[in-house]
């Protein structure tokens, strides 16, 4: 009850050290090191099966680990039971107690405390109504979860997690089960709540837009390992591995060859400058925004337009390059005259190149 | 009903139609079939019983119900059935929990054994229980020697038999609900600081209450009407260990059909009242769970 006592404890930093978790022969988590700063909003981003939810559950103490350590501030929490870690966990499907009213759900974490630490009934009631105001659901105390919409349940789940004044707030796919409009609203709102309450917050998502838009920093996971940790700008602009480059920004992967320090796509030499990639086959990741159809100079790649689709403010066209390559997506202004079957030439504004493996 | 309603003018249709218009067809035929079947198998025999008993009048019925021997038998039947169903609610829940939540060698075997009281002819169960719990039986001897407890040929014996036949009802109604319990709600409770005991008492049990009540009601209903397994172990002493169904048979053997129907009608009314009360409680608890 930080708000009531007026003592502002600094939000806890979390250190995850060399966490390994084996499921039989396969490693769900394979040597994870991660430092989460106090008060930070961090996203764990990755495809399904990357271990992001497992890592979140390890931090919460819901999942036993094979080796490694979890520290909350200076305290080693590795052997601490879930109950004593003081985390606020918001489950993907909310896991509200259906037989309890909204008020009882939110008060649960306070009501189960031992008598000596339990706030009085009036204090609990006041806290519940404060939290309902915070999550913008005032007056819904008496409702049951079954009477709420998905977005409302999500907010009750968050209020319930915040009620115990957790050291860290953990959210598993917080917007996964909601429709697009509600997701956008809740994203903005979660950012606001985070700024107001200042909790160290970790959330899991497979949606890169969500991670990049919402988080202070993003950790990209793949196959139980951390591929890259950085600010959204770093992740987007400077992907440090082929996996991240292939995952962020809806790129198309083109197989190229590096010969004599030059990058060749079929017959076209894309760059004369020596790329920091050893000679041999390499993977080039081309994002829609990388393609320039207007450039006057530079190595041009010939392509035919295989499809034109409208996507919000822009139009997306599919460009078929040489045989054997997947079609490349490009964004163009809606006004430009282009049709299926047109022959075009384009240049690349950026070369995101990684060795093939 | 609806077939007719569909041909009438709109206002008439609205007045006649029982079911709300729905995209799913077949209300008329399924409702008609269900009603016909229910009438043939349940309603007609039961109303015949009530009709036969109505010859006695309410005063006659009450007169029979308050006869000391009848009263004693009814009390024995209902109290012991209630107690047996309550015991089954507790242990049936534990068995269902163990069978659903844990894997151990022989689980499938034990799972299958739960249904045996359903399958066994009740007389066989009665004889087996009587032999086991008799003063010279394997269990009865030691119970008597150690605790001075006599089971066979006492009301306690009836209780044992009723518990035996009622167990599968609770296990089988609670088991699927436990299997579908969301593990996340237990985890949510733990992250909020609740001990395992608090999680069970505040989160798991309340969720299981409707299923436990259903199982309890079924076990109770079965126990009230049970005859075969009880008479062998009960001793059947009037005023002590005589159950109401046995008293009905006794009346029939004495060609006292009016007496038999009267007791049967009283049992019917009491059973219905109890089951209705349980169903109301259940509907209330289900509503709280948001099942609508």
**Most confidently modeled range among A98-112, B234-248, B257-271:** A98-112
| A332 compared with B190, residue with greater pLDDT | B190
Which band of pLDDT confidence, cut at 50, 70 and 90, is reported for residue B10?
low
* Nearby residues of B133 by Cβ (< 8 Å), 6 or more positions away: B139, B140, B143, B151, B152, B157, B160, B233
Which residues pair with residue A36 across a beta bridge? A14
β-sheet bridge partners, residue A347: A292
Please tell me the distance from the alpha carbon of residue A333 to that of residue B9, in angstroms, as a whole number: 59
> Are A161 and B184 within 8 A, CB to CB?
no
Residue B4: what pLDDT?
44
Residue B291 in this model has a pLDDT that exceeds 80: no
| Per-residue pLDDT at B65 exceeds 90 | no
Range in A271-280, B5-14, B21-30, B123-132 the model is least confident about: B5-14
Complex ipTM, two decimals?
A: 0.85
Whose tokens are 């894309």? That residue is A270
Q: What pairs with residue A21 in β-bridges?
A: A29
Which positions 60-99 of B are in contact with A (Cβ < 8 Å)? none
Closest residue in chain A to residue B181, using alpha carbons only? A95
Task: List chain A residues with CB under 8 Å of B291.
Answer: 146
Q: Which of A93, A144, A160 sits opposite B288 (nearest CB)?
A: A144
How confident is residue A106, by pLDDT bands cut at 50, 70 and 90? very high
Find which of B191, B194, B207, B281 to mutate to test the A interface (most A CBs within 10 Å of its CB): B191
Q: Which of B100, B115, B122 is nearest to B204 (CA)?
A: B100
DSSP letter at B21 equals P
| Whole-number pLDDT of residue B17 | 56
Average pLDDT rounded to a whole number, residues B30-52:
89
CA angle centred on A22, ends A231 and A77, rounded to 5°: 60
Residue B171 confidence class, pLDDT cut points 50, 70, 90:
very high
Predicted pLDDT of residue A275: 65
Confidence class of residue A295 from pLDDT cuts 50, 70 and 90? confident
Minimum distance, in Å, between the CA of residue A110 and any CA atom of chain B: 8
CB contact under 8 A, B191 and A89: yes
CB contact under 8 A, A83 and B193: yes
Residue whose C-alpha is closest to residue A8's, from A199, A189, A160, A190: A199
Cα A269 from chain centre: 36
Distance between CA atoms of B81 and A171, rounded to whole angstroms? 49
For chain B, give the mean pLDDT: 86
- The rounded distance, in Å, linking the Cα atoms of A18 and A30 is 8
**Which residue of chain B is at minimal alpha-carbon distance from A105?**
B189
Rank A14-18, A308-312, B2-6, B256-260 by mean pLDDT and report only the highest. Answer: A14-18
Q: Does the pLDDT at position B160 exceed 90?
A: yes
Report the residue from B190, B198, B289 with minimal CB separation from A99. Answer: B289
pLDDT for the residue B9: 54
Q: What percent of chain A has pLDDT over 90?
A: 53
Residue A60 token pair: 């919460």
The per-residue pLDDT for B202 is 94
Digit-coded pLDDT (tens) for A303-322: 889 888 888 888 889 999 87
User: What Cα–Cα distance (Å) separates residue B278 from each residue in A298, B80, B204, B273?
Assistant: 83, 17, 20, 9
Q: Which two tokens stand for residue B156?
A: 């306690």
Which of B:94-123 have CB within 8 Å of A?
none
Query: Could you tell me the pLDDT band of residue B80, with boundaries at 50, 70 and 90?
Result: very high
CA dist., res. A3 & res. B181, Å (int): 35
Six-digit token string for B145? 């020697």
The model's pTM is 0.80
Neighbours of B141 (CB within 10 A): 14
Residue A4 scores a pLDDT above 90: no
* pLDDT class of A3 with cuts at 50, 70, 90: very low
HSE (side-chain half, CA atoms, 13 Å) at A60: 30
Residue A98's closest chain B neighbor by CA? B289
Q: What residues contact residue A228 under an 8 Å CB cut-off, 6+ apart? A: A219, A220, A234, A235, A239, A240, A241, A244
* B181–chain A Cβ distance below 8 A for any pair: no
Percent of chain B clearing pLDDT 90 (strictly above): 48
Confidence (pLDDT) at A234: 95
**pLDDT at A5 exceeding the cut of 80:** no
Q: Inform me whether the pLDDT recorded for B226 exceeds 60.
A: yes
B198 contacts on A by Cβ (under 8 Å): 112
Identify the band that residue A114 occupies on the pLDDT scale cut at 50, 70 and 90.
very high
pLDDT at A345: 87
At residue B14 the predicted structure's pLDDT band, cuts being 50, 70 and 90, is low
**What's the pLDDT tens digit per position in A25-45?**
788 999 999 999 999 999 999
Which residues of chain A make contact with B192, given a CB cutoff of 8 A?
Answer: 108-109, 112, 160-161, 163-164
Q: Do A112 and B289 touch (CB under 8 A)?
A: no
pLDDT tens, A221-276? 999 999 999 999 999 999 999 999 999 988 999 888 888 878 888 778 887 665 67
Cβ-defined contact of A109 to B192 (cutoff 8 Å) = yes
Work out the pLDDT band at A177, boundaries 50, 70, 90.
confident
Q: Distance between the two ends of chain A, CA-based, in angstroms?
A: 52
SS (H, E, C) chain A: CHHHHCCCCCCCCEEEEEEEEEECCEEEEEEEEEEECCCCEEEEECCCCCCHHHHHHHHHCCCCCCEEEEEECCEECCCCCHHHCCEEEECCCCCCCCCCCHHHHHHHHHHCCCCCCCCCHHHHHHHHHHHHHHCCCCCCCCCCHHHCCHHHHHHHHHHHHHHCCCCEEEEECCCCCCCHHHHHHHHHHHHHHHHHHCCEEEEEECCHHHHHHHCCEEEEEECCEEEEEECHHHHHHCCCCHHHHHHCCCCEEEEEEEECCEEEECCEEEECCCCCCCCEEEEEEECHHHEECCCCCCCCEEEEEEEEEEECCEEEEEEECCCCCCCEEEEECCCCCCCCCCEEEEEECCCEEEECC
Question: What pLDDT shows up at residue B56?
Answer: 80
A62 vs B69: CA distance, rounded Å = 61
Q: Name the residue with tokens 């396969």.
A: A26
Q: Quote the CA–CA distance of A258 and A264 in Å, as a whole number.
A: 6
Statement: residue B5 has pLDDT above 70: no
Sequential DSSP letters for B24-83: S--HHHHHHHHHHHHIIIIIHHHHHHHHHHHTTHHHHHHHHHTSHHHHHHHHHHHHHHHH
pLDDT reported for residue A299: 82
Query: For residue A181, what pLDDT band results from cuts at 50, 70 and 90?
Result: confident
- Measure CB to CB from residue A112 to each of B185, B194, B206 and give the nearest one: B194
Record: contact A99-B187, CB cut-off 8 A: no
pLDDT value of position B16: 54
The CA distances from residue A31 to A61, A205, A350, B76, in Å, are: 17, 20, 33, 67
Q: How far apart are CA A151 and CA A185, in angstroms?
A: 10
The pair of structure tokens assigned to A299 is: 């190595």
Pick the residue with more confidence: B292 or B188?
A: B188
Cα–Cα distance for residue pair B217/B279, rounded to 1 Å? 8
């Amino acid at each position: 009850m930080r708000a009531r006592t007026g003592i502002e404890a600094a939000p806890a930093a979390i250190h995850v050290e060399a966490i390994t978790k084996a499921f039989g022969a396969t490693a769900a988590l394979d040597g994870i090191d991660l430092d989460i700063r106090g008060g930070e909003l961090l996203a764990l981003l990755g495809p399904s099966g990357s271990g992001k939810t497992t890592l979140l559950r390890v931090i919460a103490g819901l999942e036993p680990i094979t080796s490694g350590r979890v520290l909350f501030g200076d305290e080693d929490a590795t052997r601490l039971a879930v109950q004593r870690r003081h985390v606020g966990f918001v489950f993907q499907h909310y896991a509200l107690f259906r037989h309890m009213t909204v008020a009882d759900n939110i008060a649960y974490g306070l009501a189960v405390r031992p008598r000596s630490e339990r706030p009085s009934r009036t204090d609990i009631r006041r806290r519940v109504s404060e939290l309902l105001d915070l999550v913008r659901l005032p007056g819904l105390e008496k409702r049951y979860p079954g009477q709420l919409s998905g977005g409302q349940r999500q907010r009750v789940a968050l209020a319930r997690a915040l009620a115990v004044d957790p050291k860290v707030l953990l959210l598993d796919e917080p917007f996964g089960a909601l429709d697009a409009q509600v997701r956008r609203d809740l994203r903005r709102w979660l950012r606001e709540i985070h700024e107001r309450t200042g909790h160290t917050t970790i959330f899991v998502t497979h949606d890169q837009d969500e991670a990049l838009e919402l988080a202070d920093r993003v950790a990209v996971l793949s196959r139980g390992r951390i591929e890259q940790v950085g600010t959204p700008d770093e992740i987007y602009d400077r992907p440090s591995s082929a996996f991240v480059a292939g995952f962020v920004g809806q790129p198309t992967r083109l197989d190229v060859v590096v010969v004599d320090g030059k990058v060749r796509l079929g017959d076209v030499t894309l760059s004369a400058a020596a790329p920091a990639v050893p000679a041999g086959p390499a993977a080039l990741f081309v994002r829609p925004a990388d393609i320039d159809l207007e450039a006057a100079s530079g190595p041009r790649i010939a392509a035919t337009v295989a499809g034109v689709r409208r996507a919000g403010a822009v139009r997306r066209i599919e460009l078929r390059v040489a045989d054997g390559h997947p079609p490349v997506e490009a964004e163009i202004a809606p006004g430009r005259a282009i049709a299926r079957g047109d022959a075009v030439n384009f240049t690349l504004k950026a070369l995101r190149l990684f060795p093939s493996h | 009903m609806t077939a007719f309603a569909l041909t009438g003018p709109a206002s008439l249709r609205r007045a006649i139609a029982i079911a709300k218009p729905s995209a799913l067809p077949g209300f008329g035929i399924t409702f008609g079939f269900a009603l016909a079947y229910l009438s043939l198998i349940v309603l007609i025999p039961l109303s015949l019983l009530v009709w036969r008993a109505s010859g006695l009048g309410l005063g006659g019925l009450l007169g029979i119900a308050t006869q000391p021997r009848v009263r004693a038998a009814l009390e024995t039947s209902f109290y012991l059935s209630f107690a047996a169903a309550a015991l089954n609610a507790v242990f049936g829940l534990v068995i269902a929990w163990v069978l659903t939540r844990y894997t151990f060698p022989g689980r499938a075997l034990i799972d299958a054994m739960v249904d045996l009281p359903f399958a066994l002819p009740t007389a066989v169960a009665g004889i087996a229980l009587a032999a086991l719990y008799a003063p010279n039986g394997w269990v009865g001897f030691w119970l008597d020697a150690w605790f001075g407890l006599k089971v066979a040929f006492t009301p306690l014996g009836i209780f044992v038999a009723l518990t035996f036949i009622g167990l599968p009802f609770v296990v089988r109604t609670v088991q699927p609900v436990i299997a579908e319990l969301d593990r996340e709600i237990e985890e949510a409770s733990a992250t909020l600081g609740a001990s395992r005991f608090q999680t069970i008492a505040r989160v798991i049990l309340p969720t299981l209450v409707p299923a436990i009540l259903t199982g309890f009601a079924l076990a109770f209903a079965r126990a009230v009407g049970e005859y075969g397994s009880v008479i062998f172990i009960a001793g059947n002493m009037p005023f002590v260990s005589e159950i109401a169904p046995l008293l009905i048979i006794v009346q029939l053997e004495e060609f006292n059909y009016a007496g038999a129907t009267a007791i049967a009608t009283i049992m019917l009314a009491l059973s219905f009242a109890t089951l209705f009360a349980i169903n109301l409680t259940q509907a209330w608890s289900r509503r709280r769970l948001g099942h609508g």
